[in-house]
Structure 1
Amino acid sequence: MINFFRKTAVLFIGLVLASWLPTTLAASKILIPAAPRVAASSYFLMDFNSGRVLVEKNADKKLPPASLTKIMTVYVVFRELSNGHLTLDEKVTISKKAWQTPGSRMFIEVNKQVAIKDLLKGVIIQSGNDASVALAEHVAGDESTFAALMNQHAQRLGMTNTHFENSMGLPHDNHYTTARDLAKLTQALIREFPDYYKWDAEKEFTYNNITQHNRNKLLWRDESVDGVKTGYTEEAGYCMVASARRNDMRLISVVMGTASENARANESQTLLNYGFRFFETHKLYDAMASLTEARVWKGDSKKLQLGLPNDLFVTIPRRHFNDLKAETQVDNRITAPVKEGEAVGTLNVTLAGDVIINKPLIALTTVAKGSLIQRLYDEALLLMEH
């Protein structure tokens, strides 16, 4: 039981670190150069760790994703691998349907057996439609069932404006996504499967004595870029999801509907350069680290440590880290029982007077009811306060 009388503690970031919530800083206080103009139907730039959106335009507009679809295809397969349902060396028998799939190809042959690892590289590096279908059929029995699985994962990841009809991105009226949703998907893929994600940085792959190069031109231009995927259909235009890491900061960019292969690379580079030049990201609090302490009444313990359930990062304009200020607000009438994970306070962080964080503080441990004597004693103390 928690009442609404609160006590407040102010923490300075130089000593105790904090977190963030996206907001617009007052232009009169901190000046940030305007976002660059990007020649694309839709585009999006966000920090990987904090999730802060740095640039966006038409980010929730439903558009055909072309081969960007394959980010979800490999994500689903990675999930199956991590769950132990598949192995990288497992062989897949190539169907006639997979072999006949139009568009970009890995050049697998019908009835041949191909390792899942090779098929994944064929999708990631060569953008093979045939490899995508082969994986879909192996995982789910047929491509339509696999598409349903893709949609389940999309829903779980919060991709609210996405629907898939196939594993490769061929045009369909009911096959669409958004720049924002693709960034969410890419964030999940990199976070959950860092070892598999390393394949995105490979510049070429040879299968069946045929060497094909990765279509991500930024892999050759910018050594900080290590993924992710390109796509093209006449309906979608030239699309690209890219990710780059410089020092401890990783960004994810999405461009959809650009005019050419060079354009999608150039516009992606423009977004990434803007983000790295004008923003910086810091890890602030570790998950489950104690940030403050609260008094607990009528419990088997008088003290309760409060913290945050997840690691927290902040992305802010460069050279303004020392301007951050954190404040915790904790109810001083916390009464046992208190369950671990229960919200019992709030963390607020301001930058130049603007609130950029509002996160619930949780109990890091459980506090059970105290003995009858302890409860009566605390009740008497509480009555005396009034």
Structure 2
Amino acid sequence: MIRKSSLAAFILLPSLSYAATVLTNPPELNNNAYILMDYETGQVLAAKNENNQYAPASMTKMMTSYLVEQKLLKGELTEDEQVRMNESAWCRGSSRESCMYVPLNGTATVLEMLRGVIVQSGNDASKALAEHIAGNEGTFVHMMNEEAKRIGMTNTHFVNSTGMPAEGHLSTAKDMALLAQHIIKDSSKYYPIYSEKEFTFNGIKQGNRNALLYTDPSVDGLKTGHTDEAGFCLTTSAKRGPMRLISVIMGAPSMNERAKQTRELLSWGFSNFETVNVQPANQSLAKAKVWFGQENEVLIGLAENFNVTMPKGQASNIKTQLVVQPKLNAPLAQGQVIGKLVASLDGKVIAEKPLVALKPVEEAGFFSRMIDHIKQFFSNLF
């Protein structure tokens, strides 16, 4: 039975979008940075240098593909819309970059180009889509950075749409995990493309560089990356049973190492953690006093299920606390945030979820409000 305390005064708690791990034995990996995050709760299970900025290489293309997917879903692009390969985007067959190999002045559909970005990691497809959407790559990059800010990628700055080395083109393991989380959630229609093992265009068949797609049936994305500056990078998602984990490796020494390290992270995460429901949504947890309203109390609950990722076998030890704003004043809208439900384990806060008003409370008439003002005045004296 999960224990709950009585109402407490509203206090500001640290943001726990990425909760600290409660296990002390995460894998030690030879790379610049890594992170292992639960997809559903956003909790970080293990990490190293997750907020340090490094070159993300072709993991950059996750933002390029995400913007394309969102425009498709909004109807601003169509799947069969033709995209021209201009000279500025055309790949001349250099061994220094990966290409889809659309001929100069040739065309491919938006959906074909999207596959070229995700599966083949084509720099030409990335730039062609950027130019098609925004007129030029620079304007598209501005869109990339604005979208990064919107979804909370606070330590990321893009300079191009491909991930080719450029001064100031930087991201973090944490930000890449957050981007992967949004792709899986917001672009679910197109997410299966990230698990495709190969794609053929213009008679050229190329395989996905994510080795785990061929060896681990639970892995279904997302994106590899490599430059001399960045080292070997990999953002991965795997789903086993009801639980999905996202891992990011930055700066591994080899292609084999980035795959091996990802396997180790995922194995450790799935073996040691589980996601449990602490409190379902839309259930009344308590009543709180409301001033100046047509009703004196408001029912408090959660708008979304409160799920928490924790070490296996610890669910019965979770304690929760209702933290509610003091002196709630009408009017209150249904769904208005008025506090938070905090979950702790062994005295450590591990997650929190906004508490909302389950029903609206309309403002009272003039005389009722005057009476409440008088009551508040005298309550403040004592």
Moved more, 290-299 or 371-380: 371-380
- Asked whether 1:122 is paired with 2:120, we answer no
- Asked whether 1:242 is paired with 2:240, we answer no
- Asked whether 1:108 is paired with 2:106, we answer no
Give matches, 1:167-178, under 5 Å.
Answer: 167-178=161-172
* Count of paired positions: 366
- Mapped partners of 2:75, 2:239: distance in 1: 30
Select which of 22, 28, 48 maps to 2:19. 22
Secondary structure of 2:161 counterpart: coil
- Asked whether 1:83 is paired with 2:74, we answer yes
Percent identity reads 43
TM-score normalised to structure 1 length: 0.86
Secondary structure of 1:38 counterpart: coil
Q: Which of the pair has the greater relative contact order for Cα pairs under 8 Å at 6+ separation?
A: 1
- Mapped partners of 1:380, 1:180: distance in 2: 51
Structure 1 counterpart of 2:206: 212
- Asked whether 1:291 is paired with 2:285, we answer yes
Deviations 1:339-377 (A, max 9, x none): 444443442222233332444422233311224575578
Cα 1:351/1:21, change in 2 over 3 Å: farther
- Mapped partners of 1:331, 1:116: distance in 2: 49
Structure 2 counterpart of 1:42: 33
Residue pair 1:40, 1:257 contacting (<8 A) in 2 also: yes
Letter of the 1:78 counterpart: E
Cα 1:258/1:21, change in 2 over 3 Å: closer
- Asked whether 1:55 is paired with 2:53, we answer no
Give matches, 1:1-386, under 5 Å.
Answer: 8=6, 22-23=19-20, 25=22, 32=23, 34-100=25-91, 102=94, 103-286=97-280, 289-330=283-324, 334-371=328-365
- Mapped partners of 1:383, 1:100: distance in 2: 74
- Mapped partners of 2:225, 2:326: distance in 1: 55
Query: How far 1:213 moved relative to its partner?
Result: 1.1
Cα 1:381/1:97, change in 2 over 3 Å: closer
Letter of the 1:38 counterpart: L
Moved more, 372-381 or 278-287: 372-381
> Alignment RMSD, CA only?
2.7
Deviations 1:186-240 (A, max 9, x none): 1111111111111111111111222111111101111110000011111111110
Cα 1:20/1:204, change in 2 over 3 Å: closer
Moved more, 119-128 or 353-362: 353-362
Residue pair 1:228, 1:242 contacting (<8 A) in 2 also: yes
Residue pair 1:99, 1:109 contacting (<8 A) in 2 also: yes
Secondary structure of 1:328 counterpart: strand
- Mapped partners of 1:281, 1:182: distance in 2: 22
Deviations 1:18-64 (A, max 9, x none): x9972464xxxxxx461111111111111111111111111122211
- Mapped partners of 1:302, 1:370: distance in 2: 10
Consecutive unaligned residues of structure 1, counting only runs of 5 or more, are 1-6, 11-18, 26-31
Consecutive unaligned residues of structure 2, counting only runs of 5 or more, are 9-15
- Mapped partners of 1:53, 1:357: distance in 2: 11
Deviations 1:70-129 (A, max 9, x none): 001101111221222111111111112222364111111122221100010111111111
Letter of the 2:44 counterpart: V
- Mapped partners of 1:53, 1:63: distance in 2: 19
Residue pair 2:91, 2:101 contacting (<8 A) in 1 also: no
- Mapped partners of 1:332, 1:247: distance in 2: 42
Residue pair 2:91, 2:123 contacting (<8 A) in 1 also: no
Query: How far 1:325 moved relative to its partner?
Result: 2.2
Residue pair 2:320, 2:342 contacting (<8 A) in 1 also: yes
Moved more, 337-346 or 64-73: 337-346
- Mapped partners of 1:312, 1:207: distance in 2: 45
